[in-house]
Chain A
Amino acid sequence: MDLAYLGRLCKGDRSRMAEYIALYLQEAPRLFAQLGALANKQDAEQLAQTAHGLQPHVHYMGDERLYILLDHIQECASAQGTAACKESVRECIALNQELMHALIQWSTTDPPTTNR
């Protein structure tokens, strides 16, 4: 997790960053569950599109591993079909769980204070 991009998006405003992170924590489980469900169906195009749609959100959270894995799922789904993507999708879901845990920790930790 690297919140530098989100910080630039929110002009360093921690409360705005918290606002976006709260929405991510709310939406991400549904979106990644959707990814998991599609990996068990035959709709490679929809799986690829769903993986593609998730990329900006994980980019905001600075999770490069997840971003690259979602890229891989798109290529894999298009070239080999959904069955070949199941392992990658499972890994994606697990990585998102880690990310969400880190985001919750960030949200519940007080920002560092400047010593004067």
Chain B
Amino acid sequence: MIQIALVDDQVLFRRGMALLLRDMADVRVVFECANGEELLTGMRDNAVDIILLDVEMPVMGGMEALAHLRRSHPEVKVIMLSLHTEVELFVDAMEKGANAYLLKIAEPVEIENAIREVAESGYHFSDRVSQAMLHGLVKRQQVKPSYKDVDPLSERELEVLRAICQELTTTEIAGQLFISPRTVDGHRNNLLLKTGARNTAGLVVYAMTKGLYAP
């Protein structure tokens, strides 16, 4: 069961999300709240797997709450929600440790898929977000990645990285590369250490920034 927290200052929007999630048998909404401060309070008493987190909220907005969460609850996955499509926001959210960025007006089926993909593989990029990010990064060419440029990645690490970008699960990567799932996890950990990315979503941004993968 995927435990969800819904965070948005608009009760109408939370109700809409709750209506969608009600149909997902593997999802349970644990609590709802209206800003980042209430979220952090709620996280003390509730076990949550994924937070659906609005970017713009009074008292404490989504980005600030995300920064707090990465210190207090690094294991919790966060799907940012917004109407804004600027690439800088996507990149900022991912670099701060978000696992996905969804438009509030995304199709319901995409929202469902995003929740399941984030739960399974740790990230989700919609086609729209991927294209906008790549377009923005290529156009600007001055995005300074917050990644380390240390040890070069091995051939195997590159293979694992590209497989992660293709949204393959650990089991699928293991099958494709004829290695054990445990070895895949080892490579993923090395990738995180070498690149300085905070999570799998960060690895995808790293790969796109470095030109190692294009969707």
Contacts and interface: CB of A to CB of B under 8 A. Distances in A.
Interface in A34-48: none
Contacts, number: 49
A20 B56 contact: no
A8 B20 CA distance: 9
Nearest to A24: B12
Nearest to A71: B83
A20 B16 contact: yes
Contact of A52 (B11, B12, B19, B56): B56
A116 interface: no
Grouping DSSP codes into helix (H, G, I), strand (E, B) and loop, the A interface class, with mixed when no group exceeds half, is helix
Given A52-B56, A59-B105, A10 B83 contact: no
B95 interface: no
Nearest to A54: B10
Interface of A: 5, 8-11, 16, 19-20, 23-24, 27, 31, 49, 52-53, 55-57, 59-60
Interface of B: 9-13, 15-16, 19-20, 22-23, 56, 83, 104-105, 107-109
